[in-house]
Structure 1
Amino acid sequence: MQKLIDYINQYAKLDDAAILELELRAETEKFKKNEFILEQGKYCNKIWFIKSGMVRKFHLHEGKEITAWIHIENEFVTSLHSYFHQTPAIEYLQACEETELIGISRQNSEKLARFPQFTIFANSLMGEHFVKIDTNSREFGLLSAKEKYDYLKQISPGMLKRAKLGHVASLMGVTQETLSRIRKQN
């Protein structure tokens, strides 16, 4: 739990009462490699902080897995549309390795929002997340395959070292062979 508290404290300093409430409302969950955290069609009512491990967000298109993003430690992951609109998830969340998450349900998030520090944190986190989505979609739409790899190396070198070649290739929208050639050039 301390890892999450430290992360939140970067945005809004938690007092003792807020920390106690967080410890009451958040729960640690462990997932084995390849285990699903969320499946397409299920309702997502949690947001998770990745304490350790790696989570791949992907969807199926014509029977093929398309990686949307690969999240690592100290990142939050959820199905945004399902979580906020309470609709079935359109993607899967899958542990890529042994993964430990700290989950906070939608109901418990609302209870935490009574503390101003959590509201400040949530607003900061959402703003940061939207900027990342905007930047990533712009960069991925404009860059060559080599430039996409260099961009990922810049923003998430740890993910590139640990993620499966096929997952990274899918994320970049290239074949595994193309990604292998790019890696050899670097």
Structure 2
Amino acid sequence: MDALLQNLINLTRLEGKAIEPILQFFTPVKVSAKAILLEPGSVSQTAWFIGHGILRAYTIVQENKRSGNLDDGDLLDREITNWIVPENGFLTDIKSFLHQTPSRYFIEALEPSRLYKHDYKNYQAIQQSYPEVAQIIFENTLIMADLRVQMCNLRNPINRLQMFEKMYPGMSGRISVSIQASYLNIDRATLSRLRGKIK
């Protein structure tokens, strides 16, 4: 739990003595690569803090093979990666977790991961007893959401890739081209071509 303590200190900028009582609300968990931690339709009972590894949240949509629109033609399932979160970050379906409503996402471990499980009842306890810590943790999530919106607003795919590389240095070597392409909303061939340009 020492790593979790240090990461929470870095995240919240609070002193260790203020953070140590919070550790009781987190349970260490190890998961294998490809482990599914949440599925659409399930209520998210857990926010995951990543000690080591990478999690992603994604949805599956049906599209027409030719136009991308849903119609009577041939359909295909396409994964859209909404979030990629490495070490020292939190991931949950925020709406499902906070409002205890059915989730829209899958959450998956992309590599063997050491996680700290924080369930909804514990979140309520932290909110009541340590409101400043709960606020800072979820403020950080909002900051990451804002950065994600900024990335999505970049029309040029090479600019999205450059922002990704700046936000997550070294990440490209840890995740598949398919997953990174689905996060950047470009196809695999385009991503491979753009990677060559920015090296």
For 2:99, the equivalent position in structure 1 comes to: 85
Distance apart, 1:125 and its partner CA: 2.6
Corresponding residue number in structure 1 for 2:58:
58
Q: RMSD over aligned Cα, in angstroms? A: 1.7
1:54-102 residue CA offsets vs partner (Å, 9 max, x unmatched): 1111001112211112111111011101101111110000011101110
Q: Structure 2: how far apart are the matches of 1:181 and 1:64?
A: 21
Identity %: 24
TM-score of the superposed pair, with normalisation by structure 2: 0.85
Equivalent-residue separation in structure 2 for 1:185 and 1:134 (angstroms): 27
Please tell me whether the aligned partners of residues 126 and 133 of structure 2 are also in contact (alpha carbons under 8 angstroms).
Answer: no
| 1:171 counterpart residue number | 183
SS of the counterpart of 1:142? coil
Structure 1 stretches (4+) deviating beyond 4 angstroms? none
CA contact (8 A) 1:45 1:86 kept: yes
Name the structure 2 match of 1:13: 15
* Runs of 5+ consecutive residues of structure 2 not aligned to the other structure: 63-76
- The range that moved more, 3-12 or 101-110, is 3-12
Q: Deviations over 1:16-66 (max 9, x none)?
A: 7x52x4343211111111110111111111111101111111001112211
Unaligned segments of structure 1, at least 5 residues: none
Instruction: Measure, in 2, the Cα distance between the counterparts of 1:6 and 1:55.
Output: 20
| Aligned mates of 1:13, 1:150 — CA distance in 2 | 35
Determine which structure has more spread, i.e. the larger CA radius of gyration.
2
* Residue deviations 1:121-143 (CA, integer Å, cap 9, x gap): 32223223223212321332223
1:156 corresponds in structure 2 to 168
Code of the residue aligned with 1:132 in structure 2: it is: M
